[in-house]
Structures are given as structure tokens and as C-alpha cells.
Chains A and B, each alone.
Chain A
Amino acid sequence: MRLDQRLIADMIEPKTRVLDIGSGDGTLIGHLYRERGCDARGIELNMELVTRSVAHGLPVVHGDADHDLAYYPDHSFDYVVLQRTLQAVERPREVLRQMLRIGRYAIVSFPNFGHWQLRLRLLLGGRMPMTAVWHTPWYETPNIHPCTIRDFLELCRQDGYIVEKWLAVDEDGERAPWRRSIRLANLFGEQALFLLRRR
């Protein structure tokens, strides 16, 4: 399991109901189901990964964050998870709204566009930055809605979500030590991880 998935798993209470949007090969829901006794289910767009997950006995439906969340009833999960995908959905604000309609908590991770390397490359090179995290050229990237940690916090404020926990992590998922300053986290954190709840 990736380190950032472990951080997500640590945010989830045992024996709760979890929906993982973009569940990939099912690693996180498999872990939550088998090790934590959660009723963990997935949505995944890549059919090969859906089949692989179901073939491992995990409940996964083919679908995506933009089109399928509307079909889940209110308050039907304790946690709704969206890993490293918010920047790639069509309507991030609506996806967040749906997540917090379906779940009591939303767990969201995304790559931070405010990282110093990106800022520096754009400033000095004048070209769209390419880094280990942002590695596809602008004409091919699925990341159509990049944001920074501060942008995300501003959206949470506007839409009235309460940030229960947040972490800035590096690409490998190691916790980064800028907990006290959002501005520093926004400069040095490659990935951001948020636990949100409704007001």
C-alpha cells in the first residue's frame, strides 16, 4: 500500500462504511475491509481495475466521480475518499458537495500546485512546469483543475466545510513537517490530504 494510502487508512475508524472513489486496484478498500472490518466499496473508471478488484472479492462498480455520485443516497457512508483525483474531475466543487452529501466525512488528497518547484519553473522557464508529480505536458494532462493548498482551503471556507485534519506530504507520502504554517505547507508540500466534514 502506498504511504499516502496508509495515512488515509489511519484517518478511518474501524467498522465504518467507506466509499473509495477511484479505488484503483482495490488496495485501500481491501485493506479497510480485511484489516479494519469496514464495509468498504469502490468506484473505478478503468474497467481492467474494476474486474481485478471484483475478482478479488471486493465490491467495486464501474463509474466515475463526475457522473455516478448522484446515485448514492444521502448519509449512506461514514467516509467518502477521493485519492489524487480532485484535480482531474470535471466539476471539483460539485464532486466535493456530493462527497459530503453521501458521507459524514470526506477524505481528499490532491497534488499541490503551489509547490515551490512549480512556482520556480514557471517563473524562470516561462513554460508549464514539469516535475515528478506534474509529469504530463499541458496538451495531454488529465489534470484540468489544479489547485494549491490555499485555494482548496478557500473553497472549503466558501462552501462551509470544516477541516478536521490536514497534512502536507511529499510525493512518497511521507508526512512533511510544515503542520503549523499553511503558507509553508503550500510552498513545500507536494501532496495535500484533508479530512473534511459538514458543518
Chain B
Amino acid sequence: MNSTTPLTVGDHPHASFPEGVELDCGVTLAPVDIAYCTYGQLSANKDNAILICHAFTGDQYVAEAHPLTGKPGWWERMVGPGKPIDTNRFFVICSNVLGGCMGSTGPRSPRTDGQEAPGELWGTAFPPITIRDMVRAQHKLVHSLGIERLFAVVGGSMGGMQVLEWAVTYPQMMLAVMPIATAPFHSAQNIAFNEVGRQAIIADPDWRGGRYWEAGVVPARGLAVARMMAHITYLSEEALTRKFGRRMRRGPAGGQGPEGPVSTFGDIFEVESYLRYQGSSFVRRFDANSYLSITRAMDWFDIAADHDGDLTPAFAGTAVRFCVVSFSSDWLFPTSAARTLARALNRAAANVSFVEIETDKGHDAFLLEEPDFDRTVRGFLCGVAEHAGLS
């Protein structure tokens, strides 16, 4: 946790909506910017667009080097020419979620509710947002691109929540959806994990009641701890054992703490070192107040609750083709949650495929090398195209 300077936000390509977005909380958030990337060519009939929804700490840089971190796009192995989501064939759109911090309007944007001091940012005054609000903003973006109907909406984890929300809120807007490593509601355990992360941020003195930008600091420790804890939930016990086991590495003082040659925290386990690295690199690219806003949006997510507690009516009469994918070692969004979803879709007589991919990589498996998963994505999309009569 050495470097605590956040990387500066450049000007990300975006669309602006002066009229803003009406939020579930009743507030109209205006204006709204939505930063996005596209890949491939939109066909003349505008029938080949796939919207990809990113996960909690992802962003719109799906298939290109990230302008801030320089790292490859987060789904480059899935999206690109000849890849399972083939940009030679499909026009791919991915936008930064509302409430995010990579160019879309969020807590780090200038406050615009009429009560702002000059130069004030939203911070914790940013109105509470929901997954549906994120989807409403994406809908505006898609509409502004002249697309009346998406070919498919695809996403994992929180991206999968958005996918489900799309299918429920705009069922006429797409032929197919792929909710991946996700659930129709956020579980108590997941809310609990989110709460620990939030409390770590809030407990950091540098958070300063959410107004840390005024002092030119970031709550780096709190945010890093939140990330470290969350990162554990993205893996699995087997994956951690396989990658790190109980291996040690020399601490910064060469195994010697301040008290001399024998020290409790002189040498550290490799898994600790890995998590510290994950924490410190995260604070440079992610905004703490966005972390609070977005985790809260996930906690509120419950498709059934918005339909009198029953999941099936939410999908009643849908013509959308579903492909639900889970991963066997994912304990954050376990297969049981995906099965609940698949059964509710069956009850609604929806056209649904449901695949559990066998892997030890945990929740993060959807971002990693999984040949069966790649084949599933490619095959499902080809099947939808075949059914729709698209060449």
C-alpha cells in the first residue's frame, strides 16, 4: 500500500444526456454522462449489437489496453476478432455503469442538485442508485446509438444482475441474454461481505465523511482492505491453495522485523503479498465513494421483490432466449442461485439453457481461461443468430 495517489481520470469517450435519468429513488439525476467503448461494426440493419455489462469493479475497457493502468482489457480473451464474442460479426458496446468512476456520472462527478458549493463533487450526496438505474442509463446510450433492438446482453457477476434487469425491464429490446456467475438477488452473505468492505472504507480517517477529495487524499487503506477481502470471495480455497499454498516470501526487512531477527510479521505468506498487491493497485483506479454507491446498488438487487416476491412473473411471456452459466467452485454466486433462476425461467416457459462449468477457479472463473465456457458463449450466440436468421 505504498502508492496512494489515484491515477488521474482522463477524458473517456462518452455520451451526454442533459435530461438525465429518473432514478428508482425518485430523484432525477441530470445531467448524466455515460462513458463507453465499442468494438466491431454496426450492421446496416443494426441487428448485430451485443451489450456487455461489466462487473462491480470492471469498466468499459473490455477488449483494449486500459488507458490508466495499461493492463489488457478485462475480457480480451472473450471479445475480439475471432473470439467467442466475435467482433468480426458483432458490434460490441460496453459502458461504465452509472455511479462508476471511469467517466460515467458517479460520486466523483460535480454535484448538480442545486445545493452544490462551487467545485463540489457529489461524494456521499450522490443519490442512491440501483441496478435498474444503471440499466436505464445503458438503455439511453443504446437508444442514442440508433439501435432499436440488441442482439444480446451479456455480463457476469454484477454485470449478470444488469443482464437480468435488462431482460425484465426491456424484454422487447433483445433476442438473447447471458447472465453469468450471478443470481436473481443478492444473498445475505454477499450483503455481509459488502458491508465489511464499506465499513473498512468508512473507518479510514482519510475518508473524511466522504469528502476526502477536499483534502486531496483518498482512503487508501480502507479501500485496499475492502478490495483484499472482496478478492478472497472471488477465488476459491482450491485456487488459493493451488496458487499460493503455504509458501512464504521474504518480508521487506529481509525476514527481520524491527525487533531483531525474530519477528511476527517479518516474512509473509505469498497469499498475503498477493492480496496486498491487489489492494494497492485497486486504490489507484477506483473511487471509494463509487465503491459505497455500487455495493449498495448490488445489495438492493432482488428481481422477485420488485414482482411481489415471485421470480417467475418477472419473466412471464418473455420471448428472450436465456443462457444461464454458473461455475462449480463459485461460492459468491453459487450454482444453487443459478438453478433457482433457471427453474423460475422454466416456470415462465422461457427458452432457457443452463450450464454449470466445472472449475476450481471460483467466481473469477468467468474472466479466466475456461474452454468449456468459451464454447458455451460462442455456441449459444451462434444458435441465437441461426434462430434469428442472421448470417
In the complex, whether A62 has a CB less than 8 A from a CB of chain B is yes
Q: Chain A contacts of B383 at CB under 8 A?
A: 54, 56-59
Count residues of A near B (Cβ-Cβ below 8 Å): 21
Query: Is A56 within 8 A of B347, CB to CB?
Result: no
Query: Is A41 within 8 A of B376, CB to CB?
Result: no
Query: Is B355 within 8 A of A47, CB to CB?
Result: yes
Count residues of B near A (Cβ-Cβ below 8 Å): 29
Query: Is B353 within 8 A of A47, CB to CB?
Result: no
Query: Is B346 within 8 A of A68, CB to CB?
Result: yes
A68 to B387, CA, bound (A): 26
- Which residue of B351, B354, B356, B376 contacts A55 across the interface (Cβ within 8 Å)? B376
Q: Chain A contacts of B344 at CB under 8 A?
A: 71
Q: Chain B contacts of A51 at CB under 8 A?
A: 355, 357, 372, 375-376
- Of B323, B372, B378, chain A has the most CB atoms within 10 Å of the CB of B372
A29 → chain B closest CB, angstroms: 11
Query: Is A54 within 8 A of B342, CB to CB?
Result: no
In the complex, whether A50 has a CB less than 8 A from a CB of chain B is yes
A55 to B357, CA, bound (A): 12
Q: Chain B contacts of A92 at CB under 8 A?
A: none
Q: Chain A contacts of B195 at CB under 8 A?
A: none
A72 in contact with B376 given A47-B356, A51-B357, A54-B353 (CB within 8 Å): no
- Which residue of A39, A62, A72, A76 contacts B355 across the interface (Cβ within 8 Å)? A62
B318 → chain A closest CB, angstroms: 13
Q: Chain B contacts of A61 at CB under 8 A?
A: 342, 346, 352-354
- Which residue of A41, A47, A54, A76 contacts B379 across the interface (Cβ within 8 Å)? A54
A71 to B339, CA, bound (A): 11
A71 in contact with B343 given A51-B372, A54-B353, A61-B352 (CB within 8 Å): yes
In the complex, whether A63 has a CB less than 8 A from a CB of chain B is yes
Main secondary structure of the interface of A (DSSP, over half): mixed
CB-contacts of A32-89 with B (<8 A): 39, 41, 47, 50-51, 53-63, 68, 71-73, 76
In the complex, whether B239 has a CB less than 8 A from a CB of chain A is no
CB-contacts of B362-391 with A (<8 A): 372, 375-376, 378-380, 382-384, 386-387
A59 in contact with B351 given A51-B375, A71-B343 (CB within 8 Å): yes
Q: Chain A contacts of B321 at CB under 8 A?
A: 59
In the complex, whether B262 has a CB less than 8 A from a CB of chain A is no
Q: Chain B contacts of A57 at CB under 8 A?
A: 379-380, 382-384, 386-387
A129 to B354, CA, bound (A): 38
Query: Is A54 within 8 A of B355, CB to CB?
Result: yes
A41 to B321, CA, bound (A): 12
Query: Is A72 within 8 A of B346, CB to CB?
Result: yes
A55 to B373, CA, bound (A): 9
A68 in contact with B343 given A51-B357, A57-B383, A57-B386 (CB within 8 Å): yes
**A17 to B, closest residue via Cβ:** B349
A93 to B380, CA, bound (A): 34
**A61 to B, closest residue via Cβ:** B354
B373 → chain A closest CB, angstroms: 9
CB-contacts of B296-351 with A (<8 A): 321, 323, 339, 342-344, 346-349, 351
A136 → chain B closest CB, angstroms: 25
Query: Is A39 within 8 A of B351, CB to CB?
Result: yes
B37 → chain A closest CB, angstroms: 27
A71 to B344, CA, bound (A): 7
**A42 to B, closest residue via Cβ:** B353
A64 → chain B closest CB, angstroms: 12
Query: Is B347 within 8 A of A73, CB to CB?
Result: yes
In the complex, whether B360 has a CB less than 8 A from a CB of chain A is no
In the complex, whether B358 has a CB less than 8 A from a CB of chain A is yes
Q: Chain B contacts of A60 at CB under 8 A?
A: 353-354
B376 → chain A closest CB, angstroms: 5
Query: Is A47 within 8 A of B349, CB to CB?
Result: no
**A55 to B, closest residue via Cβ:** B379
A61 → chain B closest CB, angstroms: 4
Query: Is B346 within 8 A of A71, CB to CB?
Result: yes
A53 to B349, CA, bound (A): 19
Query: Is B380 within 8 A of A71, CB to CB?
Result: no
A45 to B344, CA, bound (A): 18
Query: Is A62 within 8 A of B349, CB to CB?
Result: no
A80 to B68, CA, bound (A): 54
A100 → chain B closest CB, angstroms: 17
What is the interface of chain A, defined by CB distance below 8 A to chain B? 39, 41, 47, 50-51, 53-63, 68, 71-73, 76
| A–B pairs, 6, beta carbons within 8 Å | A57-B379, A57-B383, A59-B321, A59-B353, A61-B353, A68-B346
Q: A47-B356, A58-B353, A61-B353 are in contact. List 14 more A-B contacts (CB 8 A).
A: A47-B358, A51-B357, A54-B376, A55-B375, A55-B376, A55-B378, A57-B383, A59-B351, A63-B342, A71-B343, A71-B344, A73-B348, A73-B349, A76-B349
Q: Which 7 A-B pairs have the closest CB atoms?
A: A57-B383, A55-B379, A61-B354, A55-B375, A71-B343, A71-B346, A76-B349
